[in-house]
Amino acid sequence: MSEPKIIGILGAGRVGTAIARRALAAGYEVRVASSRPASDIALVLQFTAPGAVAADASDVIAQSDVIVLALPLSKYRSLPADQLAGKIVIDTMNYWAPTDGTLTEFEGAPSSSEVVADYLTGARLVRSFNHMGYHEMDGEARPAGDPDRRAMAVAGDDAQARSIVADIIDRMGFDPVDAGRLANARDFAIGTPVFGAPLGRHDLQAALRAPLAA
């Protein structure tokens, strides 16, 4: 595909609005949907991500080049798998059993993203944005080459989708680090040393290298 221009975000909570702000700052058009009516989200976006457009989920999916999943993981089965098939989809969701309750299919799963990928048959799923706090995304974005620039891991089985998402991350103000296949997403899941840690590119590469080589 040609370079993406429109980022669609499903979820208008803390994560969704933080990513919307970064995407707008990077020059993308941004569409946002959630479980609430578009008119409700429009008011929220007016203050939390001015410039982003509220729409219904099916319109957001149909009109956007890349879709970001920023809803609570417990709601992932509300996603329309048929509409997302063939789309580049970024999974930012985390499994927080201590706060969100137990979801049996995620218990013991190597990474939540593989469970989501199984559900979203045909989607070009990329795992990223999950190991940085939403409260850090605004303050930590830096131009390329800045010595304090934070890094984000990118995993997925579709190499082209991975590279497109890496480019988006770069434009948003972070160094993308290619983590390879989706199965490697377990190396930056909750509970790993990478999760929530303020790492630059070299440190993140080093943290991911060992499992990648294995």
Among residues 101, 143, 145, 147, which is the contact residue for another protein, using CB under 8 A? 101
Q: What are phi and psi of 149, to 5 degrees?
A: -65, 130
Task: Name the 3-class secondary structure at 106.
Answer: helix
We find the least distance from the C-beta atom of residue 56 to another protein, in angstroms, to be 17
Among residues 25, 26, 190, 212, which is the contact residue for another protein, using CB under 8 A? 190
Determine the Cα–Cα distance for residues 3 and 18; give it in Å rounded to an integer. Answer: 22
User: Contact between 108 and another protein (CB under 8 A)?
Assistant: no
> What is the arrangement of strands in the sheet containing 151-156, beginning at the earlier edge strand?
53-54, 29-33, 6-10, 66-69, 88-91, 124-127, 151-156, 175-180
How are beta strands 124-127 and 151-156 bridged, if at all? antiparallel
Decide whether 118 or 136 has the Cβ nearer to another protein.
Answer: 136
Q: Where are the beta strands (DSSP E) in the chain?
A: 6-10, 29-33, 53-54, 66-69, 88-91, 124-127, 151-156, 175-180
We find the least distance from the C-beta atom of residue 185 to another protein, in angstroms, to be 14
Decide whether 23 or 88 has the Cβ nearer to another protein.
Answer: 23
Footprint (CB under 8 A) of another protein, residues 81-100: 96, 98-100
Question: How many positions of this chain bind another protein (CB under 8 A)?
Answer: 32
User: Contact between 12 and another protein (CB under 8 A)?
Assistant: yes
Task: Name the 3-class secondary structure at 53.
Answer: strand
Gap between the terminal Cα atoms of the chain: 32
User: Contact between 142 and another protein (CB under 8 A)?
Assistant: no
Decide whether 35 or 163 has the Cβ nearer to another protein.
Answer: 35
Decide whether 157 or 211 has the Cβ nearer to another protein.
Answer: 211
Q: Note the residue count of the chain.
A: 214
Decide whether 80 or 198 has the Cβ nearer to another protein.
Answer: 198
Residues in contact with another protein by the rule CB under 8 A: 12-14, 17, 34, 36, 40, 43-44, 46-48, 74, 96, 98-103, 133, 135-136, 138-139, 190-191, 193, 195-198
